[in-house]
Amino acid sequence: MGGLAAAGVNISSLILGVAPTACDEVAAMLVRLAGVDIHANEADGRMIVTVESASESATVEIFETIRQLPGVLSAALVYHQFESDPDEEA
Protein backbone atom coordinates (compact mmCIF):
# COMPACT_ATOMS: atom_id res chain seq x y z
CA MET A 1 0.00 0.00 0.00
CA GLY A 2 2.94 2.33 0.54
CA GLY A 3 3.54 2.28 -3.22
CA LEU A 4 0.13 3.83 -3.86
CA ALA A 5 0.86 6.79 -1.60
CA ALA A 6 4.23 7.33 -3.25
CA ALA A 7 2.60 7.33 -6.69
CA GLY A 8 -0.21 9.65 -5.64
CA VAL A 9 -0.53 13.38 -5.99
CA ASN A 10 -2.11 16.12 -3.89
CA ILE A 11 -4.11 18.60 -5.96
CA SER A 12 -5.14 21.91 -4.42
CA SER A 13 -6.83 25.03 -5.71
CA LEU A 14 -6.15 28.50 -4.30
CA ILE A 15 -7.80 31.85 -4.78
CA LEU A 16 -5.37 34.73 -4.41
CA GLY A 17 -5.96 38.40 -3.84
CA VAL A 18 -3.04 40.32 -5.30
CA ALA A 19 -2.27 44.02 -5.34
CA PRO A 20 -3.39 45.05 -8.87
CA THR A 21 -0.05 46.78 -9.45
CA ALA A 22 1.79 43.53 -8.64
CA CYS A 23 -0.14 41.05 -10.81
CA ASP A 24 2.60 40.58 -13.40
CA GLU A 25 5.34 40.22 -10.78
CA VAL A 26 3.35 37.71 -8.71
CA ALA A 27 2.48 35.70 -11.84
CA ALA A 28 6.18 35.59 -12.77
CA MET A 29 7.07 34.29 -9.29
CA LEU A 30 4.25 31.71 -9.32
CA VAL A 31 5.29 30.10 -12.62
CA ARG A 32 8.75 29.47 -11.14
CA LEU A 33 7.27 27.36 -8.31
CA ALA A 34 7.23 23.63 -9.04
CA GLY A 35 3.72 22.23 -9.43
CA VAL A 36 1.98 25.61 -9.58
CA ASP A 37 -0.25 26.56 -12.53
CA ILE A 38 -2.15 29.82 -13.01
CA HIS A 39 -5.69 29.38 -14.35
CA ALA A 40 -6.98 32.95 -14.01
CA ASN A 41 -5.15 36.25 -13.61
CA GLU A 42 -7.45 39.25 -13.58
CA ALA A 43 -6.23 42.85 -13.76
CA ASP A 44 -8.09 43.63 -10.51
CA GLY A 45 -5.82 41.21 -8.62
CA ARG A 46 -7.90 38.04 -8.51
CA MET A 47 -5.98 34.87 -9.33
CA ILE A 48 -6.85 31.21 -9.36
CA VAL A 49 -3.97 28.74 -9.13
CA THR A 50 -3.59 25.01 -8.67
CA VAL A 51 -0.83 23.23 -6.83
CA GLU A 52 0.20 19.64 -7.46
CA SER A 53 2.57 18.08 -4.95
CA ALA A 54 3.71 14.69 -3.70
CA SER A 55 2.66 15.19 -0.07
CA GLU A 56 0.42 17.25 2.16
CA SER A 57 3.46 18.81 3.83
CA ALA A 58 4.77 19.92 0.41
CA THR A 59 1.34 21.42 -0.33
CA VAL A 60 1.44 23.38 2.93
CA GLU A 61 4.98 24.56 2.19
CA ILE A 62 4.02 25.81 -1.28
CA PHE A 63 0.86 27.46 0.10
CA GLU A 64 2.92 29.32 2.72
CA THR A 65 5.46 30.35 0.08
CA ILE A 66 2.67 31.76 -2.11
CA ARG A 67 0.99 33.48 0.83
CA GLN A 68 4.23 35.29 1.67
CA LEU A 69 5.10 36.46 -1.85
CA PRO A 70 5.42 40.24 -2.16
CA GLY A 71 2.16 41.62 -3.57
CA VAL A 72 -0.04 38.75 -2.35
CA LEU A 73 -2.71 40.25 -0.08
CA SER A 74 -4.68 37.07 0.62
CA ALA A 75 -4.58 33.38 -0.19
CA ALA A 76 -7.39 30.91 0.41
CA LEU A 77 -7.23 27.16 -0.04
CA VAL A 78 -10.58 26.28 -1.60
CA TYR A 79 -10.06 22.68 -2.70
CA HIS A 80 -7.77 19.76 -1.89
CA GLN A 81 -7.83 16.19 -3.14
CA PHE A 82 -5.44 13.26 -2.99
CA GLU A 83 -5.33 11.13 -6.13
CA SER A 84 -3.78 7.71 -5.56
CA ASP A 85 -3.56 7.18 -9.34
CA PRO A 86 -3.59 10.53 -11.17
CA ASP A 87 -3.64 8.78 -14.58
CA GLU A 88 -6.90 7.01 -13.78
CA GLU A 89 -10.00 9.18 -14.13
CA ALA A 90 -13.07 8.55 -11.99
The string of pLDDT tens digits covering residues 10-56 is 999 999 999 999 999 999 999 999 999 999 999 999 999 999 999 99
Higher pLDDT, 73 or 6: 73
The predicted pLDDT at position 4 comes to 39
Q: Which residue has the higher pLDDT, 89 or 74?
A: 74
d(CA 65, CA 67): 6
- For the whole model, what pTM was predicted? 0.82
Q: How far apart are alpha carbons 86 and 15 in whole angstroms?
A: 23
64 with 9: CB under 8 angstroms?
A: no
The CATH class that applies to domain 13-83 reads: alpha beta
Domain limits, the chain: 13-83
